[in-house]
Chains A and B, each alone.
Chain A
Amino acid sequence: MPITNSEFPITNSQLLITNQLINYTLHLADNTLILAQQNSEWCGHGPILEQDIAITNISLDLLGQARNFYQYAAELINQSTSQPINLLTSQPATEDTLAYLRDNREFRNCLLVEQENGDWAKTILRQFVFSNYQYLLYEKMQDSKDEALRAIAEKALKEVIYHLKWSSEWVIRLGDGTEESNQRINKAVIELWPYVDELFINAAYESALISNNISVDVASLKNLWMQKTKEIFAEATLGIPENIFAHKGGKQGMHTERLGYILAEMQFLQRAYPNSVW
């Protein structure tokens, strides 16, 4: 017998918000986890010991943020009556099941963070683009109606301020450095710019939560982001590309091939040996 919507009017609208909030929280978590995983590949390979430590510190900061978001998402999923997340097991969701047992299409990270590390210049530029965005995002998220998101943003903002400072200085250093460093960062700009715009296009789960003051309207961050980018690029003697075709879809689960490789490496152990621990 079909159940009509009118039987559960209140539950349904609440459920809708909860589902969007779960999606939104997973999007925030996936962004930070994937970038953390990518940056961690530099561990032991940094251009110099001190910078090796710097980039892996940033990686750990991002991983910590991802954990906070995943823990919150797991809590929401376990409380919600319907489970929109396709989990392999019927066990309750945890930060680990969300990180290790979801497939490619269920990840909602933006395409920027899954772009290849490339050389130091590309990794630096990716970090600058993302930290600049994350700084504005978390600053606004401190006013979110959602208490958990507010608390995570408040804590993470201090870390991001440093990431932004560190990556800005490196962009300037490379752009205004030697001929080779300038060439390399220019190449990185060309390679990464198609993935910038996606950051500022609201996904359905972001749009749905704006009116409740839960999510941040990312479209509203673009001008401030551009202002800071222009300031740093001017010092770095770099130009900002215009009219670049913008790739999107990552936030909806449509990823580039690269994410498959990232997940394969990251999830292998839990997939091959379920529930193994350190």
Chain B
Amino acid sequence: MHSLIRKYYYGDIPDTPNAGGDPISSPSAAAEHPWPLWEVFIRSKQGLDHKHAGSLHAADAQMAIENARDVYTRRNEGISIWVVESKYVHASSPDEAESFYEPATDKIYRHPTFYDLPEEVKHM
């Protein structure tokens, strides 16, 4: 059973219906009624943040968590899983990268490197 899925990569998810998984004509039932795409976040151990691990398809949240368990934690990678439907992730547009990010590249004074630290201050 083949179903062709146009896959968007992380950060490029368009803010439209069917975001992420857009089936290209295929006879299979899975493609006629595609399951929504979910983003998976895994916490590898207590005290660390959940990190984005990847994305997958699932019919509902419970199935998404179980799929994530089977796909992303089978080699002992995690102790906690978050899933969120990809359509709820709003991303910055790659087209706006210039105005969004480049102005920050020449503002070196925003890094706290111009202060003389007192001797007693550690861990900076």
CA–CA, A179 to B71, complex, Å? 29
Name A180's closest neighbour in chain B (CB-CB).
B29
Are the C-beta atoms of A53 and B62 separated by less than 8 Å? no
State the interface size on chain A (CB cutoff 8 A): 13
Are the C-beta atoms of B58 and A50 separated by less than 8 Å? yes
Are the C-beta atoms of B62 and A50 separated by less than 8 Å? no
Q: Which residues in A have their C-beta under 8 angstroms from that of B35?
A: 48
Q: Which residues in B have their C-beta under 8 angstroms from that of A173?
A: 59
CA–CA, A48 to B66, complex, Å? 14
Q: Which residues in A have their C-beta under 8 angstroms from that of B59?
A: 173
Are the C-beta atoms of B57 and A48 separated by less than 8 Å? yes
Known: A166-B66, A169-B63. A48 touches B30 (CB 8 A): yes
Are the C-beta atoms of A50 and B74 separated by less than 8 Å? no
Is B44 engaged at the interface, CB distance under 8 Å to the other chain?
no
Q: Which residues in B have their C-beta under 8 angstroms from that of A169?
A: 62-63, 66
CA–CA, A174 to B56, complex, Å? 21
- Residues facing A in B53-104 (CB within 8 A) are 56-59, 62-63, 66-67, 70-71, 74
Known: A169-B63, A173-B59. A50 touches B1 (CB 8 A): no
**Least Cβ–Cβ distance between B45 and chain A, in angstroms:** 19
- 9 closest Cβ contacts across the A-B interface? A50-B67, A54-B70, A53-B70, A50-B56, A57-B70, A53-B71, A48-B30, A50-B71, A50-B57
Residues of B within 8 A of A (CB): 1, 3, 30, 35, 56-59, 62-63, 66-67, 70-71, 74
Residues of A within 8 A of B (CB): 45, 47-51, 53-54, 57, 165-166, 169, 173
Q: Would you mind naming 18 contact pairs between A and B with Cβ atoms under 8 Å apart?
A: A45-B1, A47-B1, A47-B30, A48-B3, A48-B35, A49-B56, A49-B57, A50-B56, A50-B67, A51-B67, A53-B67, A53-B74, A54-B66, A54-B67, A166-B66, A169-B62, A169-B63, A173-B59
